[in-house]
Amino acid sequence: MGRSTVKFRVLSRIAAGVGLVVAVVAGASPASAEVAGIDWTSRTSAADNDWYSVTYGNGLFVAVAGSGTGNRVMTSPDGITWTSRTNPANNAWYSVTYGNGLFVAVGPGGAGNRVMTSPDGINWTLRSSAVDNDWYAVTYGNGLFVAVATSGTGDRVMTSPDGITWTSRSNPVDNPWYSVTYGNGLFVAVSYSGAGNRVMTSPDGITWTSRSSAADNFWVGVTYGNGLFVAVASSGPGNRVMTSPDGINWTSRSSAADNDWRSVIYGSGLFVAVGNSGTGDRVMTSPDGITWTIRSSTADISWESVTYGNGLFVAVAYTGTGNRVMTSGSVASGGAGAGGGSSARAVPQVVSVDLDLEAAELPASSSQSATIGSWYQLPASVDVVGVGENAGRTFLGVATREDFPVAIAQRQVDNGWGVYEIYDADGRVESVFIPAGKSLHVTAVPRLHAIWSQ
């Protein structure tokens, strides 16, 4: 079952009728939705370790660190509440990814054990690395885990079909490869040194080709989204971004500020980069990877990695006191100011959820209430029987607007896809659709609108 985090405005209480109703405390002021990637909230990290990487998979955020004693992993189901997990060795874990039902982390330290894996993010097992290089990044794509290193002689790539057994691969040039991603049938890695050749690509993770970088900057982060590869750097005069539609031909782009940009990710229709320098401006965003805008970060600490999952951006840092996580996207922020922790608004602990299903018969097991902060599962299409005007029609899901396009909703359901967001001209969420059978995050939600087949 898929899960989707959806952001809403808090509305006044809706009169109860047939169906389900949202409850809001009388006198509570409306709270504006936190815009994914733009508005950020500080979160408490499980420990003040050097958190170098964060990923999302199987309903869980997982971060790994380069410091700490037996607690160099932390996990969170929502990006907000974090729990320390035991790691099998106190290696410096620099990168973590998720693929094929497995979390895989790599690092530059350890004797033959520079890989660890976990099926759930909680229980970890050491694995033998192909060679003791300084492994700085790992990704998953096309049925293969691929890791790249900053050291080694002609063997700065290793691959694994299962995350357990690793094989050394030849790289075209011994640059310090710092980041790797997969998109559109291609693995792409970037480096922080080299003469015009700070990119390499591979269609299979095994055979690699050197590519010309747009500039000889300190490239340390690369991602793929919306048909575009985007890399960010920690050096360069106003050109700390480069983009490529194919991973081969790269173009310099103007960064929003000459900060030390460390990581970039794509989600919710937006590229988001974080950095470890700058004053209150350690986040920048772009809807297209080309035009970038500075955003306010929650604290001037060393933000090293950012990921996206379930409607939420999560960034982690390797400095700070109890605040080495910040999130953006799923939690409606009320009276607390920017950078504040929790919302100041008052909400009831248990609320009803209005699905606008008056013209339908719901299964007897369908719950009509949920706890704030919990996940509420929508009934499946086969469990909802349309009556009256909806007789003979299929329940597709719910949307935040009654006029959500039925064709889009039908496509999401037919393909087994998840949440779909429509944006306005300013890049803000205009409407959201959640398919039947999926789940939504309850943060004091307004009345939703059932979407039926035509």
Q: Could you read off the pLDDT of 292-323 as tens digits, one per residue?
A: 999 999 999 999 999 999 889 999 999 999 99
Measure the CA–CA gap between 24 and 349, rounded to whole angstroms. Answer: 10
User: What confidence category does residue 127 fall into, taking pLDDT thresholds of 50, 70 and 90?
Assistant: very high
- pTM score, whole prediction: 0.69
Q: Which residue has the higher pLDDT, 35 or 410?
A: 410
User: What confidence category does residue 82 fall into, taking pLDDT thresholds of 50, 70 and 90?
Assistant: very high
Average model confidence (pLDDT) across the chain: 82
Asked if 332 and 8 touch (Cβ cutoff 8 Å), the reply is yes
- pLDDT computed for residue 185 by the predictor: 95
- pLDDT computed for residue 334 by the predictor: 33
pLDDT at 234 over 90: yes
Task: Select from 153, 75, 174, 162 the least CA-distant residue to 115.
Answer: 162
Mean of pLDDT values over 58-62: 94
Query: Which residues on adjacent β-strands are paired with residue 295?
Result: 283
- pLDDT computed for residue 331 by the predictor: 39
Task: Give the Å distances, CA to CA, from 23 to 13, 15, 370.
Answer: 6, 10, 11
Mean of pLDDT values over 196-206: 97
- pLDDT computed for residue 41 by the predictor: 94
Q: Which tokens go with 227?
A: 């048909």
Mean of pLDDT values over 152-163: 97
Measure the CA–CA gap between 267 and 26, rounded to whole angstroms. Answer: 35
User: What confidence category does residue 355 fall into, taking pLDDT thresholds of 50, 70 and 90?
Assistant: low
Q: State the DSSP H helix or E strand holding residue 406, giving kind and residue range, or none if neither.
A: helix 406-414
User: What confidence category does residue 2 fall into, taking pLDDT thresholds of 50, 70 and 90?
Assistant: very low
DSSP class of residue 64?
A: E
User: What confidence category does residue 200 fall into, taking pLDDT thresholds of 50, 70 and 90?
Assistant: very high
Asked if 377 and 439 touch (Cβ cutoff 8 Å), the reply is yes
Q: How do residues 442-454 score in pLDDT, each as one tens digit?
A: 544 446 788 889 8
- pLDDT computed for residue 176 by the predictor: 97
- pLDDT computed for residue 416 by the predictor: 78
- pLDDT computed for residue 361 by the predictor: 58
**CATH 2.120.10.80 intervals, the chain:** 41-328
Asked if 316 and 63 touch (Cβ cutoff 8 Å), the reply is yes
pLDDT more than 70, % of the chain: 78
Mean of pLDDT values over 223-241: 95
SS3 call for 410: helix
CATH number for the domain formed by residue range(s) 41-328: 2.120.10.80
pLDDT at 89 over 60: yes
DSSP class of residue 225?
A: E
